[in-house]
């Protein structure tokens, strides 16, 4: 349906949406460039665009030839020049709520950080116990340790479990993308089959999953083995390459 007509030009509802989308894209690009050196480059590109329009308007053949040849490589040049802004824009798109409705990017990032830390701890044979909070809150356990509320990172996890550091003994509680607390005390398992076969770290990891829907990642100090615990069941000595898939499976 046409909204209005000017001579041979028609402007309908689809055209309104088209213009709105293009305007929004340009607005976002200009917002990203504001305060950067790319803003000056963008002004220069606008002037070049105006000059090219004038050349076509006045039929300046030589200038039109120059701009036509520049256009063939212009896209590649723009990608190179605006690489930092494009990277930033894609990162923002990836973290937008709309995208996260379909892909839980933060959840995957969290798992990647945990896997990196777990692998490193296993290589160093540093004992570790990570508890991933899910639907059942672990406030009572968090209160037994030292509150951190730090952004989750593999480097910080490895540092926390480095032997002889103040917070290396006990469990780290992870809630969403934050390390809530370290050096936490966990309940021990009450299952006889685990009581005699495993050390305190494994018993605690199993125990917390018996009383909640949390998942525990356990790194043995003696062997460097990685184990997972969920719903009161211990998955012992998981291969390093399979830890991520197993963890995603348990969390889903």
**In terms of Cα–Cα distance, which of 146, 107, 130 is closest to 208?**
130
**In terms of Cα–Cα distance, which of 76, 81, 79, 56 is closest to 66?**
56
Looking at residue 103, its pLDDT comes to 45
98 phi, psi to nearest 5 deg = -60, -45
Give exposure, 173-207, as e/b (b: 16+ Cβ within 10 Å).
Answer: bbbeeebbbbbbebbbbeeeebeeebeebbbbbbb
Pick the CATH number of 105-251 from 3.40.50.300, 3.40.1700.10, 3.30.420.40, 3.40.50.720: 3.40.1700.10
**In terms of Cα–Cα distance, which of 182, 121, 199, 190 is closest to 155?**
121
Looking at residue 240, its pLDDT comes to 84
CB 160 within 8 A of CB 167: yes
Tallying the residues shown for the chain, one arrives at 252
What whole-number distance in Å separates Cα of residue 120 and Cα of residue 166? 20
Q: What is the pLDDT along the chain (252 residues), one digit of tens a residue?
A: 555 555 545 666 777 787 788 778 767 666 655 655 555 666 666 676 777 777 777 777 776 777 666 666 656 666 666 666 556 555 555 545 554 454 456 678 889 999 999 999 999 999 999 999 999 999 999 999 999 999 999 999 999 999 999 999 999 999 988 999 999 999 999 888 888 778 899 999 999 999 999 999 999 999 999 999 999 999 998 998 889 899 988 887
Element (H, E) at 94: helix 83-94
Looking at residue 5, its pLDDT comes to 53
CA 107 to chain centre: 7
**Does the predicted TM-score (pTM) go above 0.85?**
no
Looking at residue 211, its pLDDT comes to 92
What's the Rg (C-alpha) of the chain? 28
The domain locations on the chain are 2-101, 105-251
CB atoms within 10 A of CB 136: 9
Looking at residue 62, its pLDDT comes to 73
Beta bridge partners of 147: 181
């Amino acid at each position: 349906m046409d909204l209005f007509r000017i001579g041979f030009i028609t402007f309908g509802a689809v055209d309104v949406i088209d213009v709105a989308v293009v305007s929004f894209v340009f607005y976002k690009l200009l917002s990203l460039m504001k305060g950067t050196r790319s803003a000056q480059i963008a002004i220069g590109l606008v002037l070049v665009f105006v000059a090219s329009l004038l050349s076509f308007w006045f039929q300046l053949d030589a200038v039109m030839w120059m701009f036509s040849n520049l256009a063939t490589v212009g896209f590649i040049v723009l990608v190179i020049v605006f690489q930092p802004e494009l990277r930033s824009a894609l990162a923002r798109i990836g973290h937008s709520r709309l995208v996260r409705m379909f892909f839980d990017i933060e959840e995957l990032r969290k798992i990647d950080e945990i896997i990196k830390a777990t692998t490193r701890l296993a290589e160093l044979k540093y004992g570790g116990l990570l508890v991933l909070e899910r639907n059942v809150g672990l406030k009572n356990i968090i209160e037994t340790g030292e509150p951190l509320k730090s952004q989750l990172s593999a480097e910080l996890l490895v540092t926390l479990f480095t032997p002889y550091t103040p917070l290396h003994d006990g469990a780290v509680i992870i809630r969403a993308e934050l390390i809530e607390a370290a050096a936490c005390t966990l309940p021990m398992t009450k299952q006889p089959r685990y009581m005699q076969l495993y050390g305190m770290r494994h018993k605690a990891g199993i125990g917390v999953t018996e009383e909640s829907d949390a998942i525990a990642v356990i790194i043995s100090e003696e062997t460097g083995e990685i184990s997972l615990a969920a719903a009161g069941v211990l998955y012992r000595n998981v291969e390093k390459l399979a830890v991520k898939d197993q963890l995603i499976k348990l969390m889903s």
